[in-house]
Structure formats: C-alpha cells, structure tokens
C-alpha cells in the first residue's frame, strides 16, 4: 500500500530520506529555499547539500508547509533540533489526527533539554512519535552504498509498517521499541565525534581514536541508561554503529568541527564555513546539564565542552583526560 509522506527539511539527510521514500510512496519535501525547491522539481538534484547526487524522479518539492503535510499519512521532520519545535508549530494546524511523526534530528533542545520525540508529544499529543536513526551518512546512501538504520517507536505495528516504507535496496531498516535509547544514542555520539575529530586534527593517532570511541560509548551509555534508555540499545546501530561511523568519517559534520579545532581553527571560523549544522556543538551544552542532573560522570564530554565554550585548547583537553585516574572496565566510570 502506498503512503503519502510529508518530509520537512531539505538538508542532506531530509532530502536523502525523501528520495528513498519516493521510490515506493507519494512523497513531498518541504524546503525553505525556493531555489532548492525549483532545482529538485526541475533537475531532480539538490546540489547545495548533495552535490552530484540524482534524486528519485517521483519526489516533489514544495515551499508550502501546509501543502507538504495536509494529506500526509506520515510526517518526517528533518529539521535541526534548535528549530524543530518552531517548524512543528507551523505544521500543526494542517496535520490530520493520529498521523505518525518521525524525527531525523540528532540533538537535544537547548532551553528545555528535551528529545525531539518529547517535543512532538508536547506539541502534537495523540500522534505516535518516533525516530529514524543509525550510522547513516547521506552522501554514501545516495551513492548506493549499503547502510542500516533503526526506526524506533513504542507501537510495534506502526514501526513495522514504516520499516517497509523506509527500506530500499541496500538501505536496511530495523525496528526498536526503545525510543529514548535510540534518540539519545544519536544525540550523544555527536560530542564523541567532535572529540575524535579533535584527536585526528591534532594527529593523535589511531590508538587515541579507538580509546575515545570505546570510552565514549561507555560515557554515553551511562547517561543514556540513567535517562531511561536500555543498555543493549547502545551496543546496536543507534549507539555503537552510529558512534563508529560518525567518529571515523571525514563526511561527518561533527568530526569535521573537531578536526578543524584540532588544526587550530576557532569554532566561529569553522561554523562560518559550514552550510549545515553540526548538532554536537549545541548538544554539548545540554549534555553537561544533564550529566549534572543525573549525577553521571562524563569526562570526554566535559573536555569537549571546555574547548567549545571555555577557551581551552585541544591540547588542554587531552591533558585533562590524561589526568583522570584509570578505573576498571567493569566499573561504570
């Protein structure tokens, strides 16, 4: 059965998901930029965010949020976390009752410390809320390389229907009922990607990267389980899988930010040169508050925060980590 998909957000990942769903379903993609909309409709490309990629010819783009969502059976929100609520509020009057809302964002709202599905539940009560997440680098998926993702929803029946709708060729989608764990895995790993990027930029070596990834996994699992996620989720696609991809790839925006910091650039310079948002930069602020709220020790996140917001250098960060006493891997710290 064909579904009507309304996808909000014309960045690289929103456009990629829209192109995937357009293979099997009627799909409309909303983008703010009129030139992007015209390019998708006329040329089936989005050169700003996906240079060289050919989009599915069935995909329709629109400048109207109302037209994008009014007939949708599923709404997918690919908006950065700090603007997520604002776009949802505009869409709200035009969304039919009980339509599932799926987030693509991997961040936390700065003012409220809320996950995106919590924002959906607050703004659109009664709508099933979920997240599509995992080790998904948009450019690789568009070039036809194999990838896997997770659709996390509390309602397994809806998750299975969406699993079929999102799956396409070499893009495999698994289901999970741990929405909290899947969402937090996606948000928290971005900070670790900044940390490994800093190490790579400073030529710290492969051993350092491996240590940061594994200790980073321990760190995000501690906070994730304290906040209600299931520990096994963090060893799956939404945790370890996403962490490895984001911490190892030059295509990762958050790794790029860390890499440039490791090379000595200022955060302001790096952000100015980017045309997409690295969610980990803002998420680092929220995570420090959450670590305090839940009394969870997060030394890597703390050192990244100090580089981003307290003027510390990358070398200060690694010196800070070296001062921490090593415990047992059996212990939570």
Q: Which residues are annotated as a binding site for sn-glycerol 3-phosphate?
A: 106, 134, 189, 242, 252-254
Using CA atoms, how far apart are residues 317 and 127, in angstroms rounded to an integer? Answer: 43
57 is catalytic: no
Q: How far is CA 185 from the centre of its chain?
A: 9
Whether 74 and 6 have beta carbons less than 8 Å apart is answered as yes
161 contacts: CB under 8 Å, gap ≥ 6: none
Binding site feature residues for NADPH: 12-13, 32, 49, 106, 138, 253, 277, 279
323 contacts: CB under 8 Å, gap ≥ 6: none
Of the CA atoms within 13 Å of residue 278, those in its CB half-sphere come to: 29
Choose the catalytic residue: 43, 92, 160, 189.
Answer: 189
Number of H helices, E strands in the chain: 15, 8
Whether 163 and 138 have beta carbons less than 8 Å apart is answered as no
Of the CA atoms within 13 Å of residue 219, those in its CB half-sphere come to: 26
Q: In 3-state terms, what secondary structure has residue 74?
A: strand
Q: What is the dihedral of CA 134, 295, 200, 265, to 10 degrees?
A: 110
Largest Cα–Cα separation, the chain: 59
CA distances from 122 to 118, 119, 125, 176 (A): 6, 5, 6, 22
Binding site feature residues: 12-13, 32, 49, 106, 134, 138, 189, 242, 252-254, 277, 279
Q: In 3-state terms, what secondary structure has residue 26?
A: strand
Length reported for the chain: 333
Whether 101 and 130 have beta carbons less than 8 Å apart is answered as yes
Which residues are catalytic, by number? Answer: 189
């Amino acid at each position: 059965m064909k579904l009507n998909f309304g996808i909000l957000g014309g960045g690289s990942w929103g456009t990629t998901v829209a192109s995937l769903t357009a293979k099997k379903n009627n799909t409309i993609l909303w983008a703010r930029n009129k030139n992007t909309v015209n390019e998708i409709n006329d040329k089936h490309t989005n050169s700003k965010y996906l240079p060289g990629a050919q989009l599915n010819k069935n995909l329709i783009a629109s400048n109207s949020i109302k037209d994008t969502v009014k007939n949708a059976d599923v709404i997918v929100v690919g908006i950065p976390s700090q603007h997520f609520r604002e776009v949802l509020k505009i869409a709200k009057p035009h969304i039919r009752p009980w339509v599932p809302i799926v987030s693509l964002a991997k961040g936390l709202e700065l003012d409220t410390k809320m996950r995106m599905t919590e924002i959906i539940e607050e703004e659109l009560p009664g709508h099933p809320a979920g997240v599509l997440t995992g080790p998904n680098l948009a450019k690789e998926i568009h070039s036809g390389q194999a990838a896997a993702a997770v659709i996390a929803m509390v309602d397994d029946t809806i998750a299975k229907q969406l699993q079929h709708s999102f799956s396409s060729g070499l893009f495999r989608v698994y289901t999970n009922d741990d929405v909290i764990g899947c969402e937090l895995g996606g948000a928290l790993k971005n900070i670790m990607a900044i940390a490994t990027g800093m190490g790579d930029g400073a030529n710290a070596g492969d051993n350092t990267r491996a240590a940061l990834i594994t200790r980073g996994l321990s760190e995000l699992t501690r906070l994730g389980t304290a906040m209600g996620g299931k520990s096994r989720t963090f060893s799956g696609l939404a945790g370890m899988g996403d962490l490895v991809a984001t911490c190892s790839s030059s295509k990762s925006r958050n790794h790029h930010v860390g890499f440039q910091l490791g090379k000595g650039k200022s955060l302001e310079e790096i952000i100015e040169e980017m045309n997409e948002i690295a969610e980990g930069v803002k998420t680092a602020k929220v995570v420090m508050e959450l670590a305090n709220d839940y009394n969870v020790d997060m030394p890597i996140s703390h050192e990244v925060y100090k580089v981003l917001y307290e003027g510390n250098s990358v070398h200060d960060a690694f010196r800070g980590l070296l001062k921490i006493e090593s415990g047992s891997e059996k212990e939570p710290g």
